[in-house]
A and B are shown apart, each in its own frame.
Chain A
């Protein structure tokens, strides 16, 4: 079945460092790909999405490119801030399967130190 694999955390960075969180997926169809962020004690917020190959999603300085050839959707940010500390989830949904349910990776915890 469809699945998502993320790099394990926690990831600890200094403020203004470059961030990459790796995400790869397995899917039989043509999924849409998402990054969600979860701040402590809160629900999930959509960070960005891409719906087809070579699409680049971007928001709040974060970006990720849908790479069909490597089945990847890595999250990047050029300069992280302390306020970016959170857990990041990569997810996919197959629009033609089961009503677009989201399949999540296990999450990557990011801690940014001042």
Chain B
């Protein structure tokens, strides 16, 4: 069984640029959630995708957007990058979006905005 994978591992971008991060969910999981983890902080929920539809969003501006594909993999897009967007971006997948299903995390993408 393949776990959650994310790409790229590290990324350096300039303020104002756009970035796309990718996530492949664990086999059999139809729900993907994205989190932002600033240095020394706990992860903050960005949004969740369930069967290709956004299913809940945290307090992040619209320049954070996402997609989920028919194979349940997902992308996180961030436009007009700001210095404060520098963080570890974590993707997590789960069997379903409801109930107390466990979320399994990928290793993350470290984004640095200069």
Residues of A at the B interface (CB closer than 8 Å) are 4, 32, 34, 36, 42-46, 49, 51, 89, 91, 93, 95-96, 98-107
Cα–Cα, bound, A49→B103 (Å): 11
Query: With contacts defined as CB atoms under 8 Å apart, how many contacts are there between chain A and chain B in the complex?
Result: 71
B73 near A: Cβ within 8 Å? no
**Binary per-residue interface labels of chain B (33-72) against chain A in the complex, 1 for a CB within 8 Å, 0 otherwise:** 1010000111111001010000110100000000000000
Q: Which residue of B lies closest to A31 (CB)?
A: B100
Q: B21: which A residues are within 8 A, CB to CB?
A: none
Are A98 and B43 CB-contacts (below 8 A) given A43-B106, A93-B100? no
Are A101 and B48 CB-contacts (below 8 A) given A43-B106, A44-B105, A46-B104? yes
Q: A103: which B residues are within 8 A, CB to CB?
A: 45
**B15 to chain A: closest CB distance in Å?**
26
